[in-house]
Amino acid sequence: MTDNLNVSYESNPNRARDHLANERTFLAWVRTGAAIVVFGFAIGRFSIALRQLTALQGHPVHRSGVSVWMGATSIVLGVLLVVGGLFRYRKTRERLDQGRFEPAGFVLDLVTALTVLFGLALAGYLIYIERSVG
């Protein structure tokens, strides 16, 4: 098996570099997914903390629950992003081994669209909260 790898690397000196780039890309997916998970947790936890603070001050507690759902959605999307990154990594590794790499298309469009939609939903929610509170 080692001989096959050596022959393969000798016939394509960029193969190791390509595989290392694929691994770095996967790690970027993991970092991004982890950041989105932490961000979602912060959104949900902040909402819970505000409700607790409001209750401690003796004010009536309003429970729309939107922040917790947005936080949970962000956590799920972050996890899905990591899983999607793993599938992309494995698919790219297989294609590199076969010598027929194809750049990502639809996956990047989907991640971009979901991120933009979620960001706009958060912005809309913040504007709604600001108008309803202030």
pLDDT tens-digit readout, 61-70? 666 677 888 8
C-beta pairs of 93-96 under 8 Å, 24+ apart in sequence: 93/19, 93/22, 96/15, 96/18, 96/19, 96/22
pLDDT at 58 over 50: yes
Domain residue ranges in the chain? 2-133
Q: Is this prediction's pTM over 0.75?
A: no
Q: What is the pLDDT of residues 66-117, one digit of tens each?
A: 788 888 888 999 999 999 999 999 999 999 888 887 877 887 888 889 889 9
Residue 65 half-sphere exposure toward CB, CA atoms < 13 A: 1
